[in-house]
Amino acid sequence: MPLISSAFKVVDMKQSPPPLIIGERVNAQGSRKAKKMVLADDYEGLVGLAREQSDAGAHCLDVCVATTERDDELETMVALVKRLSLELDTPLVIDSTDPSVVEAAIRQIPGRPVINSINLEGDGSRFSGLAPVMARYGVPAVAMCIGPGGMAKTAAEKLDTARLMVERGREYGIQEWQYVFDPLTFTLATGQEEFADSAVQTIRGIELIKAEFPRSYTVVGLSNVSFGLDPYPRRIVNSVFLYHAIRAGLDCVIANPRDLIPYPDVPERLRDAAEDLIFNKTPGALTALLEGCAGADTQGGGSAPKPAVDPSWPAERRANYRIINQLKEGIERDVVLAIADNIENPTVRDDGRTASIDMEPRLTHEAAIATLNGSLLPAMKTVGDMFGAGELILPFVLKSAECMKAAVSELEKYLVKKEGASKGRLVLGTVYGDVHDIGKNLVKTIFQNNGYTVYDLGKQVPLQKFLEKIEEVDADAVGLSALLVNTSREMKHFVDHARERGMDIPILCGGAAINSNYINRLATDGGVYVPGMFYCKDMFDGLSTMNMLMTDRAALLSEWRDMLENRRRPSGGAPRGGLPRSSIKPVAPPRVTYGATIISDIDYNMVWKEVDEKSLFKLGWGVRGRAGQKQEEDHQKIYHAMKNVVQEIFEPQIIYGYFRCRS
């Protein structure tokens, strides 16, 4: 299965859209800050560094603690991954050249990590040392395209090395999905002819590897392609290279998510210069890029120049632009002024930094709704479209979502909060494993301002918490939100649970990761979910569905069931009787009784034989050392006396069962 996990979260290695981001900063060999913390045994600082990467959008974290100053890599790695596993829900990538360190870390982690890395350099000892670990624990590994002859430089060499690695791996039982091939990325900063074509060879190598091994994955260390450049041109090259690598089939990237620039934010002339360099189109591409970057206003320290917000634009356009371009500062003022622009004679206070409207919500409500529909929601739709097209990666979507959250928070001040009788009760939350709540928050705002009582459970909501709140408030419906493909599977867990227990709760589902086909399939797998499971493409569609549930539920469910029936009806083609059939007869399953079987009347002597007395005394009772040995006879007497008591109180039973699996 192409999944990695921590104790708390499962992450699909195939992100949709890609890439899976591996945070690179918890690495003593790549970060001076991390190295200083490792040498000082500053585990608190390392956990903080990891949390920053996770909060910035990293799906998993590369962890490397090897230093030349110390020889306790194994102990340090085990201690750090233990802390990270307890305090963060982000899966880990174990970065070490020592198989014993890697295996010790894997044994410590309550989940499935990734190994970084294996290769076939020299005598292949790096591969033969870690391949058994991959097979034993079923973990994937970054597989660097380094063969017996050294680093693969051309696309063909990269593919040949991947082939050789897959062939060697068969001896150990390694599966194709366990390879995360790194086709190697070399710096373009030297201007040397030897590496002028290296980036395009890497991109072509990704295409070749994905074509021949479609179930494998690919990864690049992004910062390698620009190593040696100044910060700003480095980020330009990284952004443009990443965009084209993803289009070629790249699945994962090792990078600092805080250092990335959205591809659309790269000025066109610099984008063209970077593409000339990456694809080796012109001999002077590097010089042209550096000259172009030298003339750019990076607003200090090599950061990307922020897109300018023209103060002459209408406020609605400014608010829209800020959300799309992740410009949070000033968005509250623009939202207020946008609302004011939709009021005939507004009373506005504006000092140039903050603004407010001195009018009652009943007079501003319609204008606020117009701003929401005309400026804020279209901005998030644009962000979603760019995310789907691969022009934005997840960290930038999260930044736009933060802007949207601030905008909606300000806008809510000018909406009428309807009091009195509620039109209905909705339990709402983002499913477990998903930390994205901007869409869910918008649903809450719209529903509340249309007379519904919303019980917002927040994000990363476990199934049990949904169930408890539904029962507590006697909810009329439940709303499940998910942004990511892997977390949308929680919706299946919910409807399966509700179906099996005969719950009577309609389910409204929404989020970027799902569509109507997916929800309709969940609603019918295992039998139609009678109370109804509805796909809501946006908050207004959800509101319309909720209104129908509360006014004419029978008509809505009848229409919904007709839609499901039409979906399942064959759409023509040859009749089933005319299709070719295999002559192979299926194997009949054994004759068994389905369900659980309980065996009682167990001989207690059989039970006592399975008890490890030494472990019981040492681990259960805490009996250790010489004092324990001196009192061993007393412990045996107590143990035998307790056995008699236990036999009077408990009746041992065995339970087993056969259950029909779901195909």
Q: How far apart are the first and last CA of the chain?
A: 16
pLDDT band for position 663 (50/70/90)? very low
Q: How many domains does the chain have?
A: 4
Q: What three-state secondary structure class fits 247? A: helix
Residues 180 and 132 in one domain: yes
Q: What is the pLDDT of residue 624?
A: 60
Domain-located, residue 576 = no
Kindly write down the DSSP assignment for every residue of 134-160, as one continuous string.
HHHHT--EEEE-EETTEE--SHHHHHH
Residues 490 and 533 in one domain: yes
The DSSP bridge pattern shows strands 92-95 and 453-456 to be unpaired
What sign for the dihedral angle of Cα 635, 638, 639, 640? positive
High-pLDDT (> 90) share of the chain, %: 57
Q: What is the pLDDT of residue 574?
A: 47
- Residues 99-113: tens digit of each pLDDT: 999 999 999 999 999
Contacts of 432 (CB under 8 A, 6+ apart): 460, 461, 462, 463, 487, 490
Domain-located, residue 461 = yes
Domain-located, residue 75 = no
Contacts of 113 (CB under 8 A, 6+ apart): 4, 91, 92, 93, 94, 105, 106, 139
Mean pLDDT of 425-436: 88
Domain-located, residue 251 = yes
* Residue 25 half-sphere exposure toward CB, CA atoms < 13 A: 20
CATH at 180: 3.20.20.20
Q: What is the pLDDT of residue 193?
A: 86
Domain-located, residue 308 = no
Residue 123 scores a pLDDT above 60: yes
Domain-located, residue 663 = no
- Range picked from 92-96, 433-437, 590-594 for highest mean pLDDT: 92-96
Residues 537 and 434 in one domain: yes
Residue 433 tokens read as: 């494993």
Domain-located, residue 582 = no
What does the buried/exposed string (b/e) look like for 191-226 if buried means 16 or more CB atoms within 10 Å of the residue's CB? eeeebbbbbbbbbbbbbbbbeebeebbbbbbbbbbb
Q: What is the pLDDT of residue 613?
A: 81
What sign for the dihedral angle of Cα 491, 9, 663, 661? negative
451: how many CB neighbours lie within 10 A of its CB?
15
Residues 486 and 539 in one domain: yes
* Domain edge (last residue) among 383, 413, 443: 413
pLDDT band for position 629 (50/70/90)? low
More confident residue, 441 or 84: 84
Domain-located, residue 465 = yes
Q: What is the pLDDT of residue 600?
A: 84
* Domain edge (last residue) among 238, 264, 294: 294
Residues 160 and 253 in one domain: yes
Residues 101 and 202 in one domain: yes
Q: What is the pLDDT of residue 303?
A: 55
Secondary structure of 513-544 in the HEC alphabet?
A: CCCHHHHHHHHHCCCCCCCCEEECCCHHHHHH
More confident residue, 88 or 639: 88
Residue 404 scores a pLDDT above 90: no
Residue 547 scores a pLDDT above 70: yes
Residues 341 and 443 in one domain: no
Secondary structure of 385-397 in the HEC alphabet?
A: HHHHCCCCCHHHH
Least confident span in 301-305, 459-463, 564-568: 301-305
pLDDT band for position 308 (50/70/90)? confident
pLDDT band for position 475 (50/70/90)? very high
- Residues 340-358: tens digit of each pLDDT: 999 999 999 999 999 999 9
Residues 401 and 426 in one domain: no
* Domain edge (last residue) among 413, 440, 469: 413
Cα(50)–Cα(26) distance, integer angstroms: 6
pLDDT band for position 465 (50/70/90)? very high
Domain that holds residue 614: 595-658
β-partners of residue 220 are 253
Q: What is the pLDDT of residue 300?
A: 45
Residues 386 and 522 in one domain: no
CATH at 548: 3.40.50.280
β-partners of residue 350 are 355
Least confident span in 130-139, 184-193, 321-330, 562-571: 562-571
pLDDT band for position 280 (50/70/90)? very high
Residue 241 scores a pLDDT above 50: yes
Question: Where are the strands (E) in 132-280, listed by range?
Answer: 141-144, 146-147, 150-151, 179-182, 217-221, 252-255
Least confident span in 95-99, 297-301, 389-393, 590-594: 297-301
Residues 16 and 159 in one domain: yes
CATH at 342: 1.10.1240.10
Specify whether the CB–CB gap between 216 and 209 falls below 8 A: yes
Residue 311 scores a pLDDT above 50: yes
The DSSP bridge pattern shows strands 92-95 and 114-118 to be parallel
Residues 380 and 256 in one domain: no
Residue 585 scores a pLDDT above 90: no
Q: What is the pLDDT of residue 495?
A: 95
More confident residue, 394 or 200: 200
Cα(161)–Cα(293) distance, integer angstroms: 37
Residues 243 and 282 in one domain: yes
